[in-house]
Structure 1
Amino acid sequence: GKRLGTDMKISATTLDCTGQQLPSRANHGAAAVSSDRIVVVGGEDDDLALGDAYVGTIKGGEVSWEAVGGSFEPRQGLGAVVHDNRVLTFGGADLMNYSTGVDSLDLSG
């Protein structure tokens, strides 16, 4: 392949969690809400597809999690984006069947 000549240096920092902890999960969707907020949706925990959503707020090297009201179709392996303060999710599976559904959740309160 052709190299584009762009070198990037990435520096990652592990943040401490405060307050409510994000329940453990795998195969979830995540998207940036703003420069200091991230949303995590769905995923799986053991043998259960999840349909919840959490917003993490980063401040002073720590992240605090808050459950978001509303729910999504329980699924894992989904895609997620944020546009105009709405989380949009697509695809994934509920551990048995694939989904072509699109869900939307307003983050503005």
Structure 2
Amino acid sequence: MVGKYKVVTLCGSTKFKEDFIRVQKELSLKGIIVISVGLFGHADGEFGTIITDETKVMLDDMHKRKIDMADEIYVINKDGYIGSSTRSEIQYAKDTGKKIKYMEESYFV
């Protein structure tokens, strides 16, 4: 399968690192270009050290630029969890006309 590839940005809490990695692999093997987070602040315990409040604002804004580059977003909503940053990203995707898919459809927002 060579040609035009769909681009998907992954959104969700960075505490779900294993799910991000698994979904990125699954989508990539389906011929989808995946844009993901730059680091896993929650999973790797980087809040308050590497990730300051100012850095968090920058990372949230950068993720919205990643949404701009995508055809759609894929929300990692393990056990129905969607935090405030992810809710903001979902709203941004809606506002910009992006298609939204959820890892767990039963927790549709």
| Structure showing the higher strand proportion among its residues | 1
TM-score for the superposition, normalised by structure 1? 0.23
Q: Which has the higher helix share?
A: 2
Q: Which has the higher relative contact order, 1 or 2, with Cα contacts under 8 A spaced 6 or more apart?
A: 2
Report which of the two structures shows the higher radius of gyration computed on alpha carbons: 1
